[in-house]
Amino acid sequence: MPPAPPALAFEGISKSYPGVHALQEVSFAVRAGSVHALMGENGAGKSTLLKILSGAHPPSAGCLRLAGEARVFSSTLEAMQAGVAVIYQELHLVPEMTVAENIFLGHLPVRRGVVDRPRLRALAATQLRRLGEESIAPDTRLGGLPLGQRQMVEIAKALSRGARVIAFDEPTSSLSAREIERLFGVIAELRREGCAILYVSHRMEEIFRLGDACTVLRDGRHVQTFGRLAETTPEELVRAMVGRAIADVFGRTPRTLGGPGLEVAGVVGPGLRAPASFAVARGEVFGLFGLVGAGRTELLKILFGSPAATAGEIRVRGRAVAVRGPSDAIRAGIVYCPEDRKREGIIPLGSVRENCNLSARRNTLRFGGVLDESWERENARRQIEALGVRTPSADQLIKNLSGGNQQKVILGRWLSERVDVLLLDEPTRGVDVGAKSEIYQLVFKLAREGVAVVVVSSDLPEVLGLADRVGVMRHGRLAALLSREEATPERVLGLALPVEETIPAPP
Amino acid sequence: MTATPARARLAAALDRAGMLLVLAVLVAVCWAAVPGFGTSRNAADLLLQVSTVGMVASTMLFCLASGNFDLSVGTVIPCGGVLCALVLRQTGSAPLAIAVALAFGAVVGLVNGVVVAKFRINALIATLSTLMMARGAAFVFAEGKSIGINSPAVLNLANVAFPVFRDPGTGAIVFQISLPVWICLGLFAFFGFVLARTAFGRNTLAIGGNEEAARLAGIAVDRVKITIFAVQGLVAALAGVLLAARMGIGDPKTAQGIELSIISACVLGGVSLAGGVGRMSHVVAGVFIMGIVENAMNLLGIDSFYQYIVRGAILLGAVLFDRFRTRR
Span A369-381, pLDDT tens digits: 888 889 999 999 9
Task: For the domain covering A259-333+418-499, report its CATH number.
Answer: 3.40.50.300
Asked whether residue B284 is assigned to any structural domain, the reply reads no
Residues counted in chain A = 507
* Phi, psi for residue A11 in degrees, rounded to 5: -120, 105
Question: Using CA atoms, how far apart are residues B89 and B81, in angstroms rounded to an integer?
Answer: 12
Flag whether residue A374 sits within 8 Å of chain B, measured between CB atoms. Answer: no
Q: Is any Cβ of chain B less than 8 angstroms from the Cβ of A344?
A: yes
Helix residue ranges per DSSP H, chain B: 5-17, 19-33, 40-65, 73-91, 94-117, 123-142, 152-159, 179-197, 199-209, 211-216, 221-247, 258-269, 280-299, 304-327
Q: What is the overall mean pLDDT for chain B?
A: 91
pLDDT bin (cut points 50, 70, 90) of residue A504 is very low
Would you call B217 an interface residue with chain A, using a CB distance cutoff of 8 Å?
yes
Asked whether residue B119 is assigned to any structural domain, the reply reads: yes
First to last CA, chain A: 46
pLDDT at A21 over 80: no
Contact list, A363 vs chain B (CB under 8 Å): 199, 202
CB atoms within 10 A of CB A275: 16
> Does B5 touch chain A if contact means CB atoms closer than 8 Å?
no
Are B216 and A369 in contact (CB < 8 Å)? no
Question: Shortest Cα distance from A289 to chain B (angstroms)?
Answer: 22
For A:41-70, CB contacts with B below 8 A are: none
pLDDT exceeds 80 at position B9:
no
Subunit contact A364:B276, Cβ cutoff 8 A: no
Per-residue pLDDT reduced to its tens digit, B145-190: 999 999 999 999 988 988 888 888 888 888 889 999 999 999 999 9
Query: How many CB atoms are closer than 10 A to CB B207?
Result: 28
Please name the residue ranges forming H helices in A72-146: 76-81, 99-103, 117-130
Mean pLDDT of A139-144: 90
Q: What is the mean pLDDT of residues A148-161?
A: 90
Amino acid at A422: L
Spatial separation of the C-alpha atoms in residues A104 and B18, rounded to whole Å:
43
Using a CB–CB cutoff of 8 Å, tell me whether B33 touches chain A: no
Question: Is residue A42 within 8 Å of A403, Cβ to Cβ?
Answer: yes
Check residue A367 and give its pLDDT: 80
pLDDT at B4: 52
Query: Chain A: nearest CA to B275, how far in angstroms?
Result: 10
Assign residue A317 a region (left: φ > 0; alpha: ψ between -120 and 50; beta: otherwise). left
Per-position DSSP letters for B12-39, written without gaps between them: HHHHHHTHHHHHHHHHHHHHHHSTTTTS
Strands A34-39 and A213-218: parallel
Q: Which of A327, A349, A368 sits opposite B199 (nearest CB)?
A: A368
Least CB–CB distance from A327: residue in B2, B200, B220: B220
Chain B residue with CA closest to A323: the answer is B218
Chain B positions in Cβ-Cβ contact with residue A364 (cut-off 8 Å): 199, 202-203, 206, 217, 219
Q: What is the C-alpha separation between A16 and A60, in angstroms, rounded?
A: 6
For residues A324-346, give the mean pLDDT: 91
Q: Are B265 and B292 in contact (CB under 8 A)?
A: no
Long-range contacts, stretch B308-315, CB < 8 angstroms, 24+ apart: B311/B264, B314/B268, B314/B289, B314/B290, B315/B264, B315/B267, B315/B268
CB contact under 8 A, B212 and A344: yes
Mean pLDDT of A165-187: 88
List, in sequence order, every residue forming a beta bridge with A287; answer none if it has no partner: A455, A470
β-pair partners for A222:
A217
Task: Answer yes or no: is pLDDT of A500 > 90.
Answer: no
Segments in A348-424 forming alpha helices (H):
352-356, 373-387, 403-415
Mean pLDDT of chain A: 87
Q: CA nearest B5 in A: which residue?
A: A19
Does residue B243 belong to any structural domain of this protein?
yes
3-state secondary structure A164-175: CEEEEECCCCCC
Contact A347 B213 (CB under 8 A): yes
* Tens of pLDDT, residues B234-248: 999 999 999 999 999
Share of chain B above pLDDT 70, in %: 95
The answer for residues whose C-beta is within 8 angstroms of residue A2's C-beta and 6 or more apart is none
Q: Closest Cα partner for A326 from B146, B223, B10?
A: B223
| Residue B47 banded pLDDT, cuts 50, 70, 90 | very high
Q: Is residue A176 predicted with pLDDT exceeding 90?
A: no
- Band the pLDDT of B20: cuts 50, 70, 90: confident
Contacts of A391-394 with CB under 8 Å at 24 or more apart are A391/A352, A393/A352, A394/A351, A394/A352, A394/A353, A394/A356
Q: B280 — phi, psi (to 5°)?
A: -65, -30
Residues of B in contact with A336 (CB under 8 A): 216
Interface contact flag, A358 B223, Cβ < 8 Å: no
Q: How far apart are CA B89 and CA A442, in angstroms?
A: 70
- Alpha carbon distances (Å) from B2 to A16, A18, A475, B8: 11, 7, 56, 9
Out of B202, B210, B276, name the one closest to residue A371 (CB): B202
d(CA B148, CA B151): 9
C-alpha distance from B134 to closest chain A C-alpha (Å): 30
Distance CA A35, CA A226 (A): 12
CB contacts under 8 A, A 410-429 vs B, are: 413
Q: Which of the two residues, B189 and B69, has the higher pLDDT score?
A: B189
- Nearest-Cα distance to chain A for B192, in Å, is 12
Residues A14 and A25 sit within 8 Å (Cβ to Cβ): yes
The lowest-confidence range among A20-24, A382-386, B128-132, B192-196 is A20-24
pLDDT tens, position by position, B245-279? 999 999 999 988 899 999 999 998 888 888 888 89
Residue B2 lies in a domain: no
Distance CA A475, CA A299 (A): 12
Count of other CB atoms within 10 angstroms of residue A240: 20
Residue B27's closest CA among B13, B10, B46? B46
**What pLDDT, on the 0 to 100 scale, is given for residue A137?**
92
Q: How far apart are the first and last CA of chain B?
A: 17
Please write the tens of the pLDDT for every residue from B201-246: 999 999 999 999 999 999 999 999 999 999 999 999 999 999 999 9
A257 versus A305: the higher-pLDDT residue is: A305
Contact B199 A329 (CB under 8 A): no
B276 touches chain A (CB under 8 A): yes
- Is residue B253 within 8 A of residue B142, CB to CB? The reply is no
* A410-440 burial code (b ≥16 CB/10 A, e <16): bbbbbbbeebbbbbbbbbbbbbbbbbbbbbb
The span from the CA of B241 to the CA of A230, in Å, is 80
Give the H or E element holding residue A424.
strand A421-425
Residues A451, A480 contacting (CB under 8 angstroms): no
For residue B2, the chain A residues in CB contact (below 8 A) are 18-19
What's the rounded mean pLDDT across residues A284-309? 90
List the beta bridge partners of residue A36.
A198, A213
Burial A276-298 (b: 16+ CB within 10 A, else e): bebbbbbbbbbbbbbbbbbbbbb
Q: Confidence band (pLDDT; 50, 70, 90) for B3?
A: very low
B247 within some domain: yes
CB atoms under 10 Å from CB of A334, counted, come to 25
Model pLDDT, residue A88: 86
The domains spanning A8-242 and A259-333+418-499 adopt the same CATH topology? yes
Domain encompassing residue B82? 40-255
* Helices of type H across A229-293: 234-242
Q: Does A370 touch chain B (CB under 8 A)?
A: yes
Interface predicted TM-score (ipTM) of this complex, two decimals: 0.83
Q: Which CATH number fits domain A8-242: 3.40.50.300, 2.30.30.60, 3.40.1410.10, 3.10.20.30?
A: 3.40.50.300
pLDDT at residue A276, as a whole number = 94
| DSSP conformation class of A389 | -
Does pLDDT of B317 surpass 80? Answer: yes
Pick from B216, B222, B272 the residue to mutate for testing the A interface (most A CBs within 10 Å): B216
Q: What is the distance between the alpha carbons of residues A227 and B223, in angstroms, rounded to a whole number?
A: 59
Q: Band of the pLDDT at A399, cuts 50, 70, 90?
A: confident
Query: What is the average pLDDT across A477-497?
Result: 86
Q: How far is CA A79 from CA A67, A411, A435, B161, B251, in A?
A: 14, 39, 33, 66, 61
- Distance separating alpha carbons of residues A240 and A388, to the nearest angstrom: 21
Instruction: Provide the β-strand partners of residue A473.
Output: A290, A478
Helix (H, G, I), strand (E, B) or coil at B303: coil
Separation CA A101–CA B289 (nearest Å): 46
Domain spans in chain A, listed from the N-terminal domain onward = 8-242, 259-333+418-499, 346-417
A-chain residue closest to B206, CA distance: A347
Residues of chain A neighbouring B216 (CB-CB closer than 8 A): 304, 306, 326, 336, 338, 344-345
pLDDT band at A461 (very low <50, low <70, confident <90, very high): confident
On whether residue B83 sits in a domain, the answer given is yes
Task: Indicate the DSSP class of residue B268.
Answer: H
DSSP A136: S
CB pairs under 8 A between A and B: 88
Contact in structure between A438 and A248 (CB atoms under 8 Å):
no
- The Cα B233–Cα A411 span in angstroms is 38
Q: How far is A20 from chain B (nearest CA, A)?
A: 10
Determine the residue of chain A that is closest to B215 in CA distance: A326
Domain count along chain B = 1
CA distance A347 to chain B (A): 5
B211 in reach of chain A (CB within 8 A): no
How many residues are recorded in chain B?
A: 328
A218-276 tens-digit pLDDT: 878 899 999 998 888 887 887 787 665 444 567 677 778 889 999 999 999 998 999 99
Tens of pLDDT, residues A32-85 = 999 999 988 766 788 889 999 999 888 999 999 999 899 888 888 899 999 999
* Strands A276-281, A452-456: pairing kind: unpaired
Cβ–Cβ gap B218/A347 under 8 Å: no
Q: How far is CA A109 from CA A92, A259, A278, in A?
A: 20, 67, 56
Q: Contact at 8 Å (CB) between A310 and A276?
A: no
pLDDT at site A42: 62
Of A210-214, A275-279, A435-439, give the lowest mean pLDDT range: A435-439
Nearest CA in chain B to A371: B198
A330 in contact with B, Cβ within 8 Å: yes
